[in-house]
Structure 1
Amino acid sequence: MSLAFLITTLVAVVTPGTGVLFTLSAGLAHGRRASVIAAFGCTLGIVPQVVATVTGLAALLHASAVAFEIVKYLGVAYLLYLAWATWRDRGELVVRTDTAPASARRIVVSAVLLNLLNPKLTIFFVAFLPQFATGFGEMVALSAVFMAMTFVVFAVYGVFAASMRDRVLARPRVMVWLRRFFAASFAALGLKLALS
């Protein structure tokens, strides 16, 4: 495993995207446990991408313009749905101490869908992994490193957001603006994906 691989992977994982936004919103809305579950769900959502890359399905998807466009627009639709749901559903990002904790299953399913419908992740694996891996075993090992880094970085983001939760509780207007920010960010990422 090369230093170039580790640095490139770290940069790719640390750069905020849909998974980071989702983990941050889970941490702010529901606390530390939810943020770690969201990080786990985002990491779990990478598994189908890894399987597709290792078995060659990702290359087929990359080669087929129609298949790629279908996955791309499913991703756009899901991001726009998240934007709409975040904007209108105050229960998702408004922090209250009297509410029940978020369902782990719901958080994981949302996070997995988020990464599953992310064609940029597929392209990243198709273009990135073959440069560093010579065989099947090495591709699996490097994918595992990528997933481990994803989980750790996303969990750090989420736990940090959860640590800010009490300060946000004291300022309800801040939470309203954060909810709007997350909704706008999901919408912007969806539009950017649609235009890419």
Structure 2
Amino acid sequence: MKVPDMVNLVMFIFASHIDYWFNEVRPVLEGRFGPMDYISDVLDFEKYTLYYSEEMGQGLKGRLVSFERLVHPFQLADIKRETNEIEKMFSIEGKRKVNMDPGYIHHTQFVLASTKHWGNRIYIGKGIYAEVTLVYVRGEFRHMEFTYPNYREEEYKKHLEKIRELYLKKRRKMMK
């Protein structure tokens, strides 16, 4: 039986006033998952969906981050449940002020966790589903029909490819 590869924990963190909320949640996230080794530029999020605006406010922006320490893919359900708890910690009057969407990068794919079932998602336990959001083919991340609009954009893919390069360096170091 082949043991699954370790993967690179990635999160998309978004909020109105992203710089403020990112600085608030970063110490909590690093306390739980270890140091971040990549933080993207501020990325527009609101232009892709208004789904979160009523709860979280206007002007939603986000950052893609990577964590230094590699994780096992089976940890994704626990990680998603933990980020949901952290979101609740920062909620005001029952409304989230910051959203954290964890996933991971493997050299062949970018996978996201979700609490919502959909036809393209696989149940991984503890109320959590996983979705292969992007696949890495012929030197680039490629989206699929069901990929969220923001992850179809070159700007997002560019950051994920940088995180993938970091991941490959970590993998090589582990295998020595």
Task: Give the alignment's TM-score, normalised by structure 1.
Answer: 0.25
Q: Whose Rg is larger?
A: 1
Task: Give the alignment's TM-score, normalised by structure 2.
Answer: 0.27
Which structure dedicates a bigger proportion of its chain to strand? 2
Higher relative contact order (CA 8 A, sep 6+): 1
